[in-house]
A and B are shown apart, each in its own frame.
Chain A
Amino acid sequence: MGWGLVLAILGAALAVILAGFGSSIGISIAAQPCDGLLSENPEAFGNVLILAALPGTQGIYGFVSAFFAIIQLGLLTGKVPQLTVSQGMQFLGACLPVGFGGLVSGIYQGKVSAAGVAVAAKQPGDSMKAVILSALVETYAILGLLATILLLMGIKI
Chain B
Amino acid sequence: MAVDKLKKIEILGYRNLREEVIASLQKLGVVQVIDFTESNLEVRDLVERRETDTRDVDIKLQQITYILNFLKGFEEKKGLLDTLTEAPKVVDQAALTHLVQTFNLSEYYQRCQEQEARINTLHSREARIKTDLEFWQPWKVLTVDVRELEGCGRYGIMTGTVDAGLLAPLTQELEGSVAEVDITEITTVKSKAYLLIIFLVEVRDRLLDVLRRYEFQEVKLSVAEESKTGIPAGIPPAGIIDQLQNQLKAIQADFESWHRASQDLLKEKESCQILHDYYLNLQKRQKISDLSANTREVFSLIGWLRAQDEEKVLRTLERDFSEIDISIHDPGPDESPPVVLVNSKLVSPFEMITSLYGLPRYQQIDPTPLLAPFFFLFFGLCLGDAGYGFILSLTAILALRSFHLKEGSRKLMQVFFLCGLSTIMCGIFTGGWFGDLVSNYLPLASLQHFTKKLTLMDPIKDPLTFLIFTLSLGFIQVWFGMSIQMYKHLREKDWQNAFLSRLPWLILLPGIILLLVVSGGKLQGPVWSAVAKWSSLLSAATIVLFEGRDRDNIFSRVGVGLLALYGIVGYYADMLSYCRLLALGLASAIIANVVNQIAFMTVKIPYAGIIIMASIFVVGHLFNLVINLLGAFVHPSRLQFIEFFTKFFEGGGKPFMPFAIESKYVVIK
Q: Which A residues are within 8 Å of any B CB, using their own CB?
A: 50, 53-54, 56-57, 60-61, 63-64, 67-68, 76, 125, 128-129, 131-132, 135-136, 138-139, 142-143, 145-146, 149-150, 153
- B403 shortest CB reach to chain A, Å: 15
> Are A50 and B582 interface neighbours, CB within 8 A?
no
B21, CB-defined interface residue at 8 Å: no
Do the beta carbons of B577 and A139 come within 8 Å of each other? yes
Whole-angstrom distance between the alpha carbons of A64 and B356 in the complex? 31
Partner of A149, one of B463, B577, B637: B463
* B619-643 with Cβ < 8 A to chain A: 627, 630-631, 634-635, 637-638, 641-642
CB distance from B505 to the nearest CB of A (A): 24
Interface residues of B in 421-472 (CB under 8 A from A): 463-464, 467
Q: Which residues of A lie under 8 Å from residue B635 when comparing CB positions?
A: 135, 138, 142
Task: Judge whether A64 and B586 touch: CB under 8 Å.
Answer: yes
Cβ of B404 < 8 Å from any Cβ of A?
Answer: no
The contact of B584 among A76, A128, A142, by CB within 8 Å, is A142
Chain B residues within 8 Å of A132, by CB: 356, 634, 637-638, 641
- What residue of chain B has the Cβ atom nearest to residue A152's Cβ? B463
Cβ of A68: which chain B residues have Cβ within 8 Å of it? Answer: 590
Determine which of B467, B579, B597, B627 lies in contact with A76 in the assembled complex, contact meaning CB atoms within 8 Å. B597
Q: Cβ of A128 and Cβ of B356 under 8 Å apart?
A: yes
Query: Is the Cβ of A60 less than 8 Å from the Cβ of B582?
Result: no
For residue A58, give the distance in angstroms from its CB to the closest CB of chain B. Answer: 11
| CB of B587 within 8 Å of the partner chain | yes
B594 at the interface (CB under 8 A from A): yes
Number of A-B residue pairs having CB atoms within 8 Å of each other in the complex: 66
Question: Cβ of A145 and Cβ of B634 under 8 Å apart?
Answer: no
Range class of the B interface residue count: 20 to 34
Question: Is A53 touching B463 in the complex (CB atoms < 8 A)?
Answer: no
Given contacts A60-B627, A145-B587, contact A153 B463 (CB under 8 A): yes
Q: Please determine whether A131 and B634 come into contact, CB atoms closer than 8 angstroms.
A: yes
The prevalent SS among residues of B at the interface is helix
Chain A residues with CB under 8 A of B463: 149-150, 153
With A57-B627, A128-B356, A153-B463: A64-B587 Cβ-Cβ less than 8 Å: yes
Separation of A143 and B573 alpha carbons in the complex (Å): 12
Tell whether B400 is near chain A: CB-to-CB under 8 Å. Answer: no
Q: How far is the CB of B577 from chain A (nearest CB, A)?
A: 7
Minimum distance in angstroms from A25 CB to a CB of chain B = 19
A146/B583 in contact, CB under 8 A: yes
Question: Which residues of A are found within 8 Å of B631, using beta-carbon distances?
Answer: 57
Q: Let me know if B583 and A142 touch, CB within 8 A.
A: yes
Cα–Cα distance between A145 and B635 once the two chains are bound (Å) = 15
Query: Distance in Å from the Cβ of A61 to the closest Cβ of chain B?
Result: 6
CB pair B587–A60 under 8 Å, yes or no, is: yes
Which chain A positions have C-beta within 8 A of B641? 132
Contact of B580 with A54 in the complex, beta carbons under 8 Å:
no
Contact between A53 and B579, CB atoms less than 8 A apart: no
Q: Given the complex, which residues of B lie within 8 Å of A63, measured CB to CB? A: 591
Known: A64-B591, A67-B594, A136-B642. 8 other contacts (CB 8 A): A54-B634, A61-B583, A132-B638, A135-B634, A142-B583, A143-B580, A146-B579, A149-B463
Q: What residues of chain B lie closer than 8 Å to A64, measured between beta carbons?
A: 586-587, 590-591
Q: Which residues of A contact B630 (CB under 8 A)?
A: 50, 53-54
5 interchain residue pairs of minimum CB distance: A135-B634, A146-B583, A142-B583, A142-B580, A64-B590
Residue of A nearest to B586 (CB): A149
B580 engages A139 (CB within 8 Å): yes
Residues of A within 8 A of B597 (CB): 76
Closest to B634 in A: A135
Q: Give complex CA distance A67, B580 in Å.
A: 19
Contact partners of B586 in chain A: CB under 8 A: 64, 145-146, 149
Residues in B whose Cβ lies below 8 Å from that of A57: 587, 627, 631
A145 to B467 Cα, complex, angstroms = 13
B467, B591, B593, B627: the one within 8 Å of A56 (CB): B627
Nearest chain B residue, comparing its CB with the CB of A141:
B583
Write the nearest CB–CB distance from B384 to chain A, whole angstroms.
Answer: 14
**Cα(A64)–Cα(B584), bound, Å:** 11
Query: What's the Cα separation between A41 and B241 when bound, in Å?
Result: 41
Could you give 17 example pairs across A and B, Cβ below 8 Å?
A50-B630, A53-B630, A54-B634, A57-B631, A60-B587, A60-B591, A60-B627, A76-B597, A132-B634, A132-B641, A136-B638, A136-B642, A139-B577, A146-B579, A149-B463, A149-B586, A150-B463
Chain B residue with Cβ nearest A145: B583
A134, closest chain B residue (CB): B634
**For residue A143, which residues in chain B have a CB less than 8 angstroms away from its CB?**
579-580, 583
Question: Could you tell me if B583 and A67 are in contact, using CB atoms closer than 8 angstroms?
Answer: no
Rounded to whole Å, the gap between the CB of A116 and the closest CB of chain B is 12
Please report the C-alpha to C-alpha distance between residue A56 and residue B627 in the assembled complex, in whole angstroms. Answer: 9
Chain A hits for B467, CB < 8 A: 146, 150
In B584-630, the 8 Å CB interface with A consists of 584, 586-587, 590-591, 593-594, 597, 627, 630
Residue of B nearest to A153 (CB): B463
CA–CA, A131 and B637, complex, Å = 10
Bound-state Cα–Cα, A60 to B356, Å:
27
Nearest residue in B to A133 (C-beta to C-beta)?
B638
B587 in contact with A67 (CB, 8 Å) = no
Contacts of A138 in B (CB 8 A): 635
A60 contact set on B, CB distance < 8 A: 587, 591, 627
Nearest opposing residue in chain B for A136, CB measure: B638
Q: How far is the CA of A61 from the CA of B591 in the complex (A)?
A: 10
Residue of A nearest to B461 (CB): A153
Q: Which residues of B contact A53 (CB under 8 A)?
A: 627, 630
Question: Inside 8 A of B356's CB, which chain A residues have their CB?
Answer: 128-129, 132
A57–B624 Cα distance when bound, in Å, is 11
Chain B residues with Cβ under 8 A from A135's Cβ?
634-635, 638
